[in-house]
Structure 1
Amino acid sequence: MERPHTPPPLDIPAGYRIADWTVKGLIGSGSWGSVHAAERTVDGASAAVKLLRTDLLTPGQRATLEELTRQEVRFSKEADHPNLVRTHAVVTLRDAARPDLDGVTALVMDRAERSLQDLVAAGRPGTPLPNAVLVLAGVAAGLAHMHAHGWVHADLKPANILLGARDAVWLADFGLTVELEGTHAYIPPIGSLDHVPPEWWSERTGVRGTTVRRTADIWAFGVVAHQVLTGGLHPFPGGTARARALAAQAYANGSTPLRLDDSLDAQWRKLIAECLAPDHASRAALDAAELARRVRALHAGTRPRSLLRHPAVLSAACVTLAGAVTALALALPPERNGTAQEPKAPATNRAAAGAVPADSDVPVTLRQTITDAAKRCTEEEVTPALLAAMLKAESGFDAKASRPATDEHGIAMWTPAVFRAWAVDGDGDGRKDHMSPPDAIATMAVFACWLDQRFKQSGLRENLPALIAAGYRTSDKAVIETGGVPKQVQPHVDEVLANLSAYTR
């Protein structure tokens, strides 16, 4: 299960004292607490104070939180490495005048400038994040140190990788970090669904929790590396964490191949493919020490620029131990030729084959939006031409189109409730609006990608563009139960296919 819904942050005024530290202001809030900027009273040294609240938790959740806090504190005290964030103090607040604070646990930690999640959220598909390889070298070094000392992070993801001054890279959030008992350990059944390995789903929770091994961190590193090197693209398609987890399981059980983004160079493609080996035994061939060595070798040829001065970042955002998104990237995506293939396989010219023709009736103002949206998916069927064919059949490219009788609106004819479940911010303005063509088209691409994976997993592989168009108009369930295009949407699918034929002639 995913962590509980995020509670509102605690209301702590600037100037509030916590032991030797003075709170300066809220940085962000997360699953079980909030993070505040602070300074040490005696010398002004900066820090971040992580407050773990318990007032909105059930007794079971409270017990879990207390255990995770103990784990985090114990690990932080034992860990000593430049790529692991440090906890300087642990304080239980006692304030009779503030019942909401009385008993709250405060962790005083290194203060970062932002989390890697900030950069991932601001990334442009196909464009590496600022100092991508430097960041990955720091992450790999931190993992190697943890594994060498018998620990597994167990929750590696961009939100738990912090970036500080002077290009510091820290692994953080050790609430799920566990000490190995031989080859494996156990953790509570929580975590980030789209960063856990496929076996997490088959080795479900027992009396002691969910089994976790070092190879879980190796898998998570592969996912993170793909995101960092491709401007935030996850290696498995889907509009939600659960959908991406489903796609990873389909790959692991052999239903679909591994398709890494075509912007990756050969050496990184090979390394990420090894990290994402479909089972624990295959993944065990690559340990964290060897991983760190290979990443260092790849980093040796790069010339890093400051993470905090990179021109693609609009502002120096505040710390985000809790994952607040505060930076935007301005770098434009490079030209990307070919579809992502199996590791070591040569890329084919997908961009040319599926591009929107220059002499088509697709509005010029929409062509780049459609092309960028298609880049969110590595399935060869989801091309700019297919998206354009679907959009023409849905709305005739009319951004104000509407079918009130069925509650469908906008250029992609989204039902608002369905859109919210898959919504993607296609234009980077911080909003997700079904009436915004960039948002609606990007979300269409993500949903089409998921449908593609879903049908392949179900054994439906013939005429996938038709199945995707049918699934978009009805549902994946309707297509799978029919074993093809449902009769009631055949005319609509025929229209999409006619459009696609015109765009790919």
Structure 2
Amino acid sequence: MTAPSFAGRYRIEQIIGVGGFATVHLAHDDELRSPVAVKILADNWARQSDVRERFLQEARLLRRADSHWLVQVFDIGELDDGRPYFVMTYADRGTLHERLSGGALAVEEALRVIGEIAQGVAVLHGIGVVHRDLKPSNVLFRSRAHGGERVMVADLGIARSTDHLTGLTLPAGSPGYMAPEQLHFDGAPDARADVHGLGALTYHMLTGQVPGRPEERVPPSALRPGVPPEVDEAVMRALDPDRDHRWPDAGAYLAALPSSGATPPPTPVPLAPASEDDGHGQGAEPETGGSPNRRRMVLGGGAAVAALAVAAAVAVSVSGQEGPGTAGGPAPATPTATRGEAVGDPTGRWLRLDSDIPKEYRSLIVQAGTYCAQPGLSPPLIAAMLKAESGFDPALTDHRADEYGIARWTPGVLWHWQPGGLQSPKPSPPLGPELSILSMGRFMCGLGPKIKDIPGDPALNLAGLFRSGVDPMHRDNGVPERWREYLGKVAKYMDDYRPR
């Protein structure tokens, strides 16, 4: 589905963010002469009533919260083809994730930023909502008219009302930032889960690293001399695996931080209970044993069946996945609701600008190619594989092989690797480019570590893995012979697509 020229009165200019369920566009309000961000539900999900409702619920929640510490929603509507959209604040200064790509922040700056983030989360806690997905790509910056900037918390795609946290909940959140209880089906995460997320964000800003496993974790000052002892204490308590030992909510954590220059906001009137919501998680990943081809891999065991049985509704996260995923390592560059650059093509940092890569797919390719720190994974690799798989044809259909779309996915396999995994509805053709391309990054990060000891070029090994699966790679101690011609194409295209 191509991008529309208009969403209501808002003139669409360029895509600035893509997730598994929605795209975000920089648009212009010609009446008010100002830029805005427009989030549009993907076509393949627009007819799923539960996904559609979750998408609209995010807009309603942001509008009711109506805080400058949160992304604000100004309008909502529906395109001519039936896809819903909503109009939000445009963050012209990007995301916290982008800033952290240059390393840790100054201590004073980190405390200032976390102070404003915590105020936004405290607003949510005050109206009875748990965000559940605090991470650097969900923290945005917008310039102020008279100088300076404001920090905004974004993406409530998997947020939940505390009225709905006493029953069954599905795993949800981003590895590296989410609390341990969010890994469990009945974890019922409350405000203390967000406190863990705030602690992880603070840790990352101060040290340049995502917190490690609890048993290996050291205070921020051990990695960053000069961090005050009271900050160490506040952060480590926020990250305690036992939620009963954490700060009770965002306001309490904010009050424990020195020199943040911020105080908790007043408590608003609680929201009415949210509509039906079961949460949204990363989903189980497929087993790889005995697979002659990655498109024929099936999920082993009964856990996935159980997960599907308990999923009464599907929650949707439209920011894309971030963090170490299933592979570990630092987080990728994943655009969110209002990320983007209005001037020039920022993908030129990763991809040659004068290549034949279609402009509309460049941002998606960068996201997939920077999904995690897997050796060999890069935007040129993803672009080269797409070229070799389909020639960038989003309408590719191979009924005999049951493969569809720009990345030639089989729907049953894509189900495992799409954002949300098995907790999201099983995809069916046509398989859109957004879903197909982003899921390649998840696949590489999920299965790449399983072939880390295979000799050869790491990038070409990943391409071979995408074609063959894990077991054939180990059996042949490399990419099976039948895929060597394919690898030759990928190698050539990678060289074509690398920036000069």
TM-score, scaled relative to structure 1:
0.49
Q: Which has the higher contact order (CA 8 A, sep 6+)?
A: 2
For the pair shown, which has the larger CA radius of gyration, 1 or 2?
A: 1
